[in-house]
A and B are shown apart, each in its own frame.
Chain A
Amino acid sequence: MKSKIVAFDHADSALAKVMKLCGIPDVADLHKVEGAEIAICHIGDNEDAWKTIISKSKAGSIRIRTSSVGRSGFAHEIRDGVIILELQLPHDPEKDGGVTKDQWNQILDALKTEGTAAQIVQGDVPVSLVKFFGRSDIQFLLGLSILCQGYLAVQVGPDGAPELLDPGNKIVGALKLMGWNKVLSSEESMRILDPRLTAKDRADRVSLRNDAADPSFWDVLTEPQEGKAVGTVSLLKNVWREWGPARKLEDSIFVEKLVNKIETREDQTDATLVAEAYLELDKRLGRTNAS
């Protein structure tokens, strides 16, 4: 059983406050982290401080790195025997989706069990901790594909016909692959789908189109970084990492164009580009989909 637990952050931080509620002491001195078996660390982007913490930690100890916006996209690892876990959700319970006091207690209780942290690094995340440490190897590809599907579905009417120009029938082709026309004619569509999606009046879909065209719709894929506006530069890197080393340029041209537009926070007004990108993603995910 692990017992000595500390948090590392400045005293008036959100992490320190929630840790205090959990009865975990907060330390501001790097050296006080050394002997802890579990340390919850918020160090922003001070990589030197992080290296110091890891180098001075004992093998087998657990270091949870946190952020006020969550550290999705960062991989768990074992470095020099130290188990490093990246908290996927914001450490601040006041933030949307942030980890609450009860959830922190749940996390810490689970990590006290020998072997749990190492199991997480190996990708075998206990069900109770998936929300906090679960990562998909292809979470950005899956997310991008889902957003493309949503974007494309709002471009057509209840009969499945595009309500905009579709040169080369790329939009129709993508919708067909998605199975959208079959969904529109299914019994469940009226019960489950938002009624705006199947409304006869084109004007009813305007709010959905505006939502899907807005940069904020796509921004969810970008890595929020503290102190910076949402919409940073790492999405393309993440997408290519997940795509894998066998990526061919000609198989991913439109995905790259779409991601560039997401990163520069442009409105997505080119449905053909989204359709082409979806078709490329479909090929990639159809080959090596994973959970």
Chain B
Amino acid sequence: MLPDWQHRRNGFNHDWLKNRFLTAMSSFVNILDDLVEDPETELRFVRDLLPQWPGRAAEAAGLIAAFKTEMSPTILFRQPPLYRCGPATMEWLPGLVHLLWCQRLSVNRMCTDACRAIAVANDSYEHIAKALVECASPVSVETLRPYRDLFSEFRAACEEVSLSISSFPNRIEVV
């Protein structure tokens, strides 16, 4: 049984960030580098996918914020068999189990690192957004070529986001 948090993480990190966004961004950087010619996809990335970043970054931040509550072993106290624990036990055991889990997995550090990676990617995105405003219109591969390094930096930052989110456990850990 896959917890809902895992489904959401897979949707963001695997399906969107790695397989759509980063793949398309790499193709776009290759086009800027004149390594490939692909007129079909030349500007599709800039027009369709790139503007999705702010919303998707917020989704990633939400995932990280939800991790502590949705993947903590305390949720096992809402399922069989531990939901049968008596009220006296419920007063002290779930909190204890939660803190042990946070400690063993360095949950706070994991969340802080992932938030930092998103913040770096957001900064990088802002640089690109500003460049697109300043860029001579109409936007084309030629007019965007001077900003190639900004795209490359943004790609590296997004790869860090993907890595940091991948490092979260994919199951509810109790030991």
User: Are A193 and B96 in contact, with the CB atoms below 8 A?
Assistant: yes
Summarize B's interface: helix, strand, loop or mixed.
Answer: helix
Contacts of B91 in A (CB 8 A): 194
A window 140-163: CB within 8 A of B:
140, 142-143, 145-147, 149-150, 153
User: Are A149 and B97 in contact, with the CB atoms below 8 A?
Assistant: yes
Q: Which of A178, A180, A220 contacts B81 (CB 8 A)?
A: A220
Chain B interface: which of A2-10, A54-62, A99-107, A120-128? A120-128
A18 contacts the other chain (Cβ, under 8 Å)?
A: no
Known: A72-B81, A130-B1. A143 touches B96 (CB 8 A): no
User: A291–B96 Cα gap in the complex (Å)?
Assistant: 19
Contacts of B47 in A (CB 8 A): none
User: Are A291 and B1 in contact, with the CB atoms below 8 A?
Assistant: yes
B130 contacts the other chain (Cβ, under 8 Å)?
A: no
Expressed in whole angstroms, the minimum distance between the Cβ of B170 and any Cβ of chain A is 8
Number of B residues, CB within 8 Å of A: 37
Summarize A's interface: helix, strand, loop or mixed.
Answer: helix
B170: nearest residue on chain A (CB-CB)? A291
Known: A182-B103, A188-B102, A291-B2. A146 touches B95 (CB 8 A): no
Known: A131-B79, A146-B73, A289-B173. A194 touches B95 (CB 8 A): yes
User: A45–B128 Cα gap in the complex (Å)?
Assistant: 67
A97 contacts the other chain (Cβ, under 8 Å)?
A: yes
Expressed in whole angstroms, the minimum distance between the Cβ of B102 and any Cβ of chain A is 7
A126: nearest residue on chain B (CB-CB)? B4
A194: nearest residue on chain B (CB-CB)? B92
Expressed in whole angstroms, the minimum distance between the Cβ of A146 and any Cβ of chain B is 6
Contacts of B97 in A (CB 8 A): 146, 149-150
User: Are A127 and B4 in contact, with the CB atoms below 8 A?
Assistant: yes
Chain B interface: which of A77-85, A108-116, A279-287? A279-287
User: A178–B172 Cα gap in the complex (Å)?
Assistant: 15
Expressed in whole angstroms, the minimum distance between the Cβ of A258 and any Cβ of chain B is 15
Known: A131-B79, A142-B73. A124 touches B100 (CB 8 A): no
A290 contacts the other chain (Cβ, under 8 Å)?
A: yes
User: Are A220 and B96 in contact, with the CB atoms below 8 A?
Assistant: no
Identify the interface centre among B3, B82, B171: most chain A CB within 10 Å of its CB: B82
Known: A178-B100, A179-B103, A179-B104. A192 touches B79 (CB 8 A): no
Expressed in whole angstroms, the minimum distance between the Cβ of A132 and any Cβ of chain B is 10
User: A84–B96 Cα gap in the complex (Å)?
Assistant: 37
A residues bordering B, Cβ < 8 Å?
Answer: 70, 72-73, 88-89, 97, 123-125, 127, 130-131, 134-136, 139-140, 142-143, 145-147, 149-150, 153, 177-180, 182-183, 186, 188-189, 192-194, 196-197, 207-208, 211, 216-217, 219-221, 224, 281-282, 285-286, 289-291
Contacts A193-B96, A211-B92 supplied; 14 other A-B pairs, CB < 8 Å: A73-B80, A123-B1, A127-B4, A146-B82, A149-B96, A149-B174, A179-B104, A183-B96, A194-B92, A197-B92, A220-B82, A289-B174, A291-B170, A291-B171
